[in-house]
Amino acid sequence: MTPTRTHKVYAIERGTVIDHIPSPLAMKVVEILGVHQEGILTVGINFKSEKLGSKDIVKVENLKLTAAVTDRLALVAPTATINIIEDGKVVEKRQIKVPREFKGMLRCPNPNCVTNVEGVETHFVREGDQAKPGVRCHYCERLYKEPSELVV
């Protein structure tokens, strides 16, 4: 029998908590957030989760997510939930929604794609379901089943 362990994660007064991130993607989420001394950054990796098996959590003090950042997070952690904290309390809780299109936020790995040859802004269209989305390049029409690897 595995002993129960208590985990202490300090509360933040104002900021964002991103929960239900599939393990081990917390550091990719931190990279996407581009956190630069906004305040306390707490990263929890490999917590038990009934929904995911194991999950990561990222808490960032004084950070409010923009729609563009949320869209990029959707490709890495489509199962994530975002909690907005004000005065130490959750004032908003929302599920991430994977958008239908991504313009200028992904990099096409096809070296012959016009986006890499002529510097055209990238444009991808989501395929598949919300939980496991793939993306197709609008220009070269290649399908990528692991869009988290394309996030710039």
Q: Residue 99 has what pLDDT?
A: 87
Quick one: pLDDT at residue 138? 96
CATH class entry, domain 15-95: alpha beta
* pLDDT at residue 82 is higher than 60: yes
Nearest to 81 by CA among 18, 11, 33: 18
- Asked whether the predicted pLDDT for residue 152 surpasses 80, the reply is no
In angstroms, the CA 83 to CA 97 distance is: 14
> Contact, 38 vs 57, CB < 8 A?
no
Whether the predicted pLDDT of 128 surpasses 70? yes
- The answer to whether 108 and 139 are in contact (CB under 8 A) is yes
Tell me how crowded residue 67 is: count the other CB atoms within 10 A of its CB. Answer: 8
| Max mean pLDDT range (4-13, 30-39, 115-124) | 115-124
At residue 33, the pLDDT reads 86
Domain 101-149 has CATH 2.30.30.20: yes
Q: Please, where in the chain does CATH 3.30.70.140 lie?
A: 15-95
Tens of pLDDT, residue by residue over 37-81, are: 667 888 989 888 888 889 999 999 988 887 788 888 888 888 899
Residues of CATH 2.30.30.20 domain(s) within the chain?
Answer: 101-149
pTM: predicted TM-score of the whole model, two decimal places: 0.77
